[in-house]
Amino acid sequence: MALGDTLMALAAFSVAEGYFLQRAAFPDETFRAVSLGALGVNLLLRAIWGMIIWPFFFNPLRHLPRVPGLMNHAAIIFDSPRGRKPLHWMKTIPNDGLIHMRDTINQSYLLPTNHQALLDIMSTNTYDFEKPWRARNFLARILGFGLILSEGAAHRKQRKALTPAFNIKNIRAMYTLMWDKTNQLLVELEKEIQACPMDGTNPADGVGKIEMGVWGSRLTLDIIGPAAMGRDFRSLQNPDNKVADSFLAILEPTKEKMAFLAMNFTLPQWIAQRVPWRLNDVVANETGFLRDMCNDIVREKRGSLKATNASAKDLETDILGTMMMGGDFSDTELVDQMLTFLAAGHETTASALTWACYLLTLYPEAQEKLRAEIRANIPSGDSQITYSDLESLPLLNGVCQEVLRLYPTVPATIRESIRDTTVAGKHVPRGTRIVLCPYAVNRCPEFWGSNGEEFIPERWIDTDKTGAPVVNHTGGASTNFAQITFLHGQRSCIGKDFARAELRCAVAGVVGRFAFEMQDPKQEIHIAGAVTTKPVEGMHLRMRRVEGW
């Protein structure tokens, strides 16, 4: 928009030049009227340029295949499930990697649809794109300016400092913790089944009511606590855990929270936080508690390390210790990282476990086959395991991969070009918005064929020379950009291997011990969530202990 910027600069110069002439020639009232008139004309010119002339006559994106009509933030945020419309556009609008959209003020949005476009945005030119500042400032109220919300040089620095904590060796060493916590979950689920038997059954029958979403959140919180900061929240054993309640209050999927999110993505924070809406107080109170807690943990750990002269090996027992050893973060920055890991590290896998249970109620044969595979390779639920015991199970891998593919925790996110750049061979001007949509890409026929929306764990299974099933990591797609649940490139999720390991343990434990189906087989599940995706109705299961494991 260089021409537009030049015209606006000339207009502004004219107003400034006229200021002194008018001031000398006119009385104050006349001067004010003339100044306001000049300002109004300047704003009108800017609006005409930005909303009419630039988008329809100069924008190089105007010739791309385009979504009919106008769209806005709400169209994406309130889409149910979020990503449904972009998937429809990918299927029905012929394109060469980019689909063009305009919002209500004719600002350009691009939807990348093929390997090259996704590669350019997430890898080749990744630092040409940033999260829009309004969205970033709102999310920082919850997450702090940690790795997820940092940009440019700050992100490169943080990523480099944090990478050692998330190498595959460290992740695999955490399987023992994850499996131990999974077994604690199984014990608590059995207690819940006994306490809440299904209507018409005897408690001795071992058939009860379980809301898996809450239990999944407690499990993953109790894993990320020790792994990230050396703090066991014991939320599995304590139903009144304040940390779990705080995240539930912030992230529980309601229409009110979706509207609140839309407002915060539209208005600057200095305005949004002054809107008399009770959710402003909820976010302030709950995030205030979480930040104070992280502050206390950082302070206690810092004091403990000084008092005990801990070795490097002692420090590396959790992610916080590894960061302290590196010396790259102030205590305030450590708190921001802890908030990020707490939210992203437990809510994402909790959501995935919930959807895994849902899919396995829809496909009971897959559930039975998976249970057989788990029991054939792992002696019992409380036996010791290694990472290879779980990573080598073909059907377990296939089920987890399909869950992450079909139900990405963050189904859509937005970037904005901070400079002129190139995507899929097309010039993309500064200020263009990019809609990255894992929900749509992960199901798109371009990558997955006509059955891309179906749950088929076998797509992740190959056979070796003897005909035995073995794990594959592509799902049959021709590019790893066919699944962008964790994104790719420099901005990919640093905890993706942690999340996959956590999900393997949780699914193996729950399916190995219990058989389950929906309490109400006719219940319709709706997908929503202010940041992550959850079933609006909760995940109410009828669970039964299967003896022998």
* Calpha distance 210→208 (Å, rounded): 7
Edge to edge, the sheet with strand 108-112 lists: 98-102, 108-112, 433-436, 413-417, 129-130
The strand ranges marked E within 120-248 are 129-130, 207-211
Instruction: Tell if the pTM clears 0.85, that is, is over it.
Output: yes
> Are 269 and 368 within 8 A, CB to CB?
no
CA atoms within 13 A on the CB side of 349: 27
CA dist 124 and 220 (Å) reads 34
| Per-residue pLDDT tens over the stretch 252-284 | 777 788 788 888 888 889 999 999 999 999 999
CA distance 221 to 347: 8
Spatial contact of 65 and 424, defined as CB atoms under 8 Å apart: no
Q: In 10 A of CB 350, how many CB atoms? A: 30
pLDDT for the residue 105: 82
User: Comparing C-alpha atoms, which of 394, 383, 347, 392 is closest to residue 176?
Assistant: 383
How many residues are listed for the chain in this entry?
549
Q: How far apart are CA 377 and CA 356, in angstroms?
A: 20
pLDDT along the chain (549 residues), means of 10: 48 47 58 75 76 80 88 68 92 96 88 97 96 90 88 92 89 94 96 90 84 94 92 89 84 80 86 92 92 92 76 67 86 92 86 96 97 96 92 97 95 94 96 95 96 97 92 94 96 94 97 96 83 85 95
Query: Of 182, 191, 91, 73, which is closest to residue 138 (Cα–Cα)?
Result: 73
